[in-house]
Amino acid sequence: MISNDTYVEIEYYQKTKTGEDVCGDDFKTVSLEDESRYIAVLSDGLGSGIKASLLANMTTAMALKFATRDMEILQSSEIIMDSLPVCEVRKISYATFSIVDILASGKVRITEMDNPEFIHLRGHEEIHHEKLKQVSSNWPDRELQLSNFEVMPEDRIIFFSDGVSQAGLGNKPHKFGWKREGCLEYALQCINNQPQISARTLSRAIVTQACGMNPQCRCIDDITCAVVYFRKPRRLRLLTGPPFKKDNDSEYANYVVNFEGRTIICGGTTAQILARELNREIKTHLFMRNNGLPPTSEMEGVSMITEGILTLTEVARCMENTVPQQEMAPAVKDMINMFMESDVIEFIVGTKVNEAHQDPSLPVDLEIRRNIIKKIKNLLETLYRKKVFMKYI
Amino acid sequence: MDKIKVEICVGTTCFILGASELQELERFLPEGLRDKVDITGATCLGMCKDDNYGQAPFVRVGNRIVSNASISSVIEQIEEQLKHR
């Protein structure tokens, strides 16, 4: 049973086979808010490159749709297998899949077809599950393995393509590949070193380790690993803009104190109000280079202080256009990383408008604060599946 | 003798109207002034919201506000205040 205070972090990481332009593994996930249900699908298409990518993408798209609509699993699998185009060379149509279906009550149902078996971890212990086997009469050699079980807070589910289990194949010391056991051992080692390791970091670590098993760290296959972590949510609170009524300044400051999580302040006036109300000192990093954006500041008990509109506009732009991290201004990169490393994000938005920002003679257009925050909220929810709350003050 | 405090506002309005260049003030200070001032940034001096103070960018030198500030006008103000000490 998982409680209301448990966040389901679902992340994956993948590397494409060396020499190919597209990955032949695909991962898709969806969260159905009204049902409080999450579905994640991983598929490995036959071969590599565009052909494999097509097979994998078709499979994940169909599997996700069918699972969402609660269609019977054997029938769903038959439709998937019947619909995949037949490879001209191998004369078969084929893509593996793992469907992980999670209900808010903590019930998990996993359906696997030819992927390495998933790993269920509770702390440092692997939990084994009995699997129900089903075979379609049309596809007798494609066995489905069904697992039903309940998870507890802090559990992890790890599933991957054979790029992980077969990493290092044919080369010492893993002549027969890293195998599922190698991956399990490494995951336990990571959790031992960092008990709260996020799904994002763990999936990345496993794929990087798998890739490193191969000679010259070349990917001999597409490598994908997904991790589901039932974690205590990491909370982030971002305060921006002065409260509409000055009387609310002290209430606004209460949002900074007694908060378990990280806090970001965006806006010069906002920072001044909070420093005054909390009687804390602000130090501005005047000589810091921030790629054309105003410098950041610091204050005790706050993770980050930035200027408001220009920085937030740039954050929204970088998120929307998936700008590479190395091209981002330091403050923007830090803020986006803080978003990524949080599960629940609250925006406390002061709605007082700074009239000076509306002066038509200003050399740049300044967006209205509320609109940028709405845009960032939307990006965090749709692209990064974050739980986002917004409060105007 | 106490140093003169120079606070450069790096709030949004000031920044886009020239505070980005004012951040470099220390590099342009004449040799003789360097040990007489203490330059810091301010997240917002709050002047842009009040028409009485004139145009951004704003810099506070001691207890005087320099509006429409440039590196040369700030240096002038520092020199002016040193004269009256």
- The pLDDT assigned to A289 comes to 75
pLDDT of the residue at A358 = 85
Chain length of chain B: 85
Chain B touched by A88 (CB under 8 Å): no
pLDDT at A1 > cutoff 60: no
Neighboring chain A residues of B44 at a CB cutoff of 8 Å:
267-269, 271-272
| pLDDT for A15 beyond 60 | yes
Last residue of a domain, one of A212, A231, A250: A231
- Same domain membership, residue A304 and residue A194: no
Q: Please give the Cα distance from A212 to B12 (Å, whole number).
A: 46
Is residue A87 located within the same domain as residue A223?
yes
A233: phi then psi, degrees, rounded to nearest 5: -65, 140
CA distance B46 to A272: 9
- Which residues, 6+ apart, have CB-to-CB distance to A129 below 8 Å? A120, A147, A148, A149
**Domain of residue A120, CATH code:** 3.60.40.10
Residue A242 contacts residue B48 (beta carbons within 8 Å): no
Give the range among A18-32, A347-361, B54-68 with minimum mean pLDDT: A347-361
| Residue where the block lists tokens 């506009």 | A313
Range of the domain at A383: 235-392
Tell whether A253 and A241 lie within a shared domain.
Answer: yes
How far away is chain A from the Cα of B77, in angstroms, using its nearest Cα? 20
A155 and A258 inside one domain: no
> Average pLDDT of A364-382?
93
Residue A252: pLDDT band by 50, 70, 90 thresholds? very high
| A252 in the same domain as A295 | yes
Q: Is the pLDDT of residue A78 over 70?
A: yes
Q: A49: number of CA atoms within 13 Å, CB side?
A: 5
Q: Which two tokens stand for residue A285?
A: 């990093």
Verify that A151 and A274 share a domain, yes or no. no
Q: Do A287 and B9 touch (CB under 8 A)?
A: no
Res A35: pLDDT: 65
Pick B13's closest partner by Cβ from A272, A295, A357: A357
Number of folded domains in chain B? 1
Could you tell me if residue A26 is inside a domain? yes
Count of domains forming chain A: 2
Secondary structure (DSSP) of A311-377: HHHHHHHHHHTT--GGGS-HHHHHHHHHHHT-SEEEEEE-----GGGG-TTSSS----HHHHHHHHH
Residue A58 has pLDDT above 60, yes or no: yes
CA–CA min distance A306, chain B (Å): 8
Do A268 and B23 make contact, defined as CB atoms within 8 angstroms? no
Shared domain check, A306 and A248 = yes
Q: Which of A214, A231, A248 is the last residue of a domain?
A: A231
- The CA–CA distances, whole Å, from A273 to A55, A263, A277, A312, B43 equal 56, 15, 6, 19, 11
For residue A2, what pLDDT band results from cuts at 50, 70 and 90? low
pLDDT higher than threshold 60 for residue A144: yes
Q: Are A109 and A148 in contact (CB under 8 A)?
A: yes
B78 min Cα distance to partner chain A (Å): 19
According to the model, what pLDDT value does residue A378 have?
A: 96
Between A354 and A314, where is the model more confident?
A314
Strands A132-135 and A304-306, bridge-based pairing: unpaired
Same domain, A264 and A380: yes
DSSP notation for A260-311 = SSEEEEE-HHHHHHHHHHHT---EE-TT---TTSPPPEE-TT-SEEE-SHHH
Domain of residue B11, residue span: 4-83
CA distance A354 to chain B (A): 7
Going from the C-alpha of A22 to that of each of A107, A192, A222, the distances in angstroms are 34, 34, 9
On whether residue A169 sits in a domain, the answer given is yes
Asked whether residue A210 falls in the same domain as residue A291, the answer is: no
Cis peptide leading into A330, omega within 30 of 0? no
Q: Judge contact between A19 and A221, C-beta under 8 A.
A: no
Give me the residue from A284, A305, A356 closest to B13, CB to CB. Answer: A356
Distance (Å, rounded) from C-alpha B56 to C-alpha B16? 9
Q: Cβ(A199)–Cβ(A156) under 8 Å?
A: yes
Q: What is the pLDDT of residues B16-68, one digit of tens each?
A: 999 999 998 999 999 989 999 999 999 999 998 888 888 999 999 999 999 99
Give the integer Cα–Cα distance in Å for A104 and A322.
30
User: Do A218 and A170 lie in a common domain?
Assistant: yes
Using pLDDT thresholds of 50, 70 and 90, give the confidence band for residue A3.
low
A65 and A106 fall within a common domain: yes
Mutation pick from B24, B29, B43 vs chain A, by most beta carbons of A within 10 Å, is B43
Greatest pairwise CA separation for chain B in angstroms: 35
Q: Count CB neighbours of A152 within 10 A.
A: 14
Q: Which has the higher per-residue pLDDT, A88 or A130? A: A130
Three-class secondary structure of residue B21 per DSSP: helix
In which band, very low, low, confident or very high, does the pLDDT at A69 lie, cut at 50, 70 and 90? Answer: very high
Q: What is the average pLDDT value for chain A, to the nearest integer?
A: 92
pLDDT per residue as tens digits for the range A147-183: 999 999 999 999 999 999 999 888 877 888 999 999 9
- Is the model's pLDDT at A6 over the cut of 60? yes
Radius of gyration of chain A from its Cα atoms, rounded to whole angstroms:
24
Quote the pLDDT of residue A138.
Answer: 84
Residue-wise pLDDT tens digits, A356-365: 888 888 888 8
In this prediction the ipTM stands at 0.87
The domain that holds B25 is classified in CATH as 3.40.30.10
Q: What angle do CA A123, A129, A132 make, to 5 degrees?
A: 155
pLDDT > 60? residue A187: yes
Which of A197, A231, A265 is the endpoint of a domain?
A231
Domain membership of residue A1 (yes or no) is: no
- Among B5, B7, B12, the strongest candidate for a mutation testing the A interface, having the largest count of A CBs within 10 A, is B12
- Closest by CA to A337, choosing from A264, A393, A391, A387, is A264
Nearest to A352 by CA among B51, B46, B54: B46
- A355 in contact with B at a CB cutoff of 8 Å? yes
Residues A141 and A275 in one domain: no
